[in-house]
């Protein structure tokens, strides 16, 4: 009887762990569900609408992201560059200019959809706090190790070993509040920051 109880308990725990893992994966994918591609960035006009699917709504409920309607805000997500998942051991260069929106920001989120802890307590940059060049353009370096200029730290926290190696270590979320017509009518071709991988250790 005891052995049977232990087997049933073990099966229940295993089922629960598997369910949590699958839910977490699906929630992460929910950010890009029903997506439109714009370079390496993805978005969806279903964000904040009644047409959003179950996984997208679960993402909003659990993560507090993507809740506003498209007229109020647009969200673009990036978890890979040229098909390669974002990695903590690599540095990335984000470059751009101003975008047609009242306010915009770029935030890094860990594999678990939470902000990545760092000693600098810096989690994002926006159109008001970026250091710019004389022509108004800007560059953000995303890396675990300290960088000059606009540095967005993404370490040293890492993904657990049980995650699939093909999965990303973190992702980037671009928010545009009160976006211009280009983002509402042609989000797949509207102007967005360019992200390139610089070096890996």
Domain range for 170: 2-200
- Contacts of residue 16, defined as CB under 8 A and 6 or more positions apart, other chains included, come to none
39: left (phi over 0), alpha (psi -120 to 50) or beta: left
Say what the pLDDT of residue 112 is: 86
Say what the pLDDT of residue 158 is: 63
Residue 6, number of CB atoms within 10 A of its CB: 10
Q: Which residue has the tokens 């659990």?
A: 62
Measured N-to-C along each axis, helices 54-63 and 2-30 cross at an angle, to the nearest 10 degrees, of: 100
Say what the pLDDT of residue 111 is: 86
Rounded to 5 degrees, φ, ψ at 23 are -65, -45
Alpha-carbon distance of 75 to 48, in angstroms, equals 10
∠ Cα 68 25 17 (to 5°) = 125
Are 42 and 77 spatial neighbours (Cβ–Cβ below 8 Å)?
A: yes
Asked if residue 23 has a cis previous peptide bond (ω within 30° of 0), the answer is no
CATH number, residue 187: 2.60.120.600
Q: What is the pLDDT along the chain (201 residues), one digit of tens a residue?
A: 656 555 566 555 555 444 444 444 444 444 444 689 999 999 987 655 555 555 555 554 444 455 555 568 899 999 999 999 999 999 999 999 999 999 999 999 998 889 999 999 999 999 999 999 999 999 999 999 999 999 999 977 666 666 666 688 999 999 999 999 999 999 999 999 999 999 998
Length of the chain: 201
Which alpha helices (DSSP H) does 87-192 contain, by range? 181-185
- Any bridge partners for residue 151, and if so which? 141
Residue among 19, 18, 29 at smallest CA distance from 54: 29
Residue 68, number of CB atoms within 10 A of its CB: 16
Q: How many domains does the chain have?
A: 1
Are 159 and 24 spatial neighbours (Cβ–Cβ below 8 Å)?
A: no
């Amino acid at each position: 009887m005891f052995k049977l109880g232990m087997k049933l308990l073990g099966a229940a725990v295993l089922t629960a762990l598997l369910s949590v893992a699958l839910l977490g994966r699906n929630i992460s994918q929910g950010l890009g569900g029903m997506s439109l591609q714009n370079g390496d960035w993805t978005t969806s006009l279903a964000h904040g609408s009644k047409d959003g699917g179950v996984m997208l709504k679960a993402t909003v409920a659990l993560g507090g992201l993507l809740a506003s309607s498209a007229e109020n805000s647009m969200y673009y997500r990036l978890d890979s560059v040229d098909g390669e998942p974002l990695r903590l051991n690599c540095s990335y260069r984000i470059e751009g200019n101003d975008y047609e929106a009242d306010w915009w920001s770029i935030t890094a989120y860990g594999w678990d959809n939470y902000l990545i802890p760092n000693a600098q307590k810096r989690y994002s940059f926006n159109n008001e706090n970026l250091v710019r060049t004389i022509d108004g353009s800007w560059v953000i370096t995303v890396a675990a190790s300290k960088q000059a200029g606009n540095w967005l730290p993404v370490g040293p926290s890492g993904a657990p070993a049980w995650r699939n190696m093909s999965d990303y270590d973190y992702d980037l979320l671009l928010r545009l509040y009160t976006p211009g017509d280009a983002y509402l009518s042609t989000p797949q071709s509207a102007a967005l920051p360019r992200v390139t991988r610089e070096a890996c250790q």
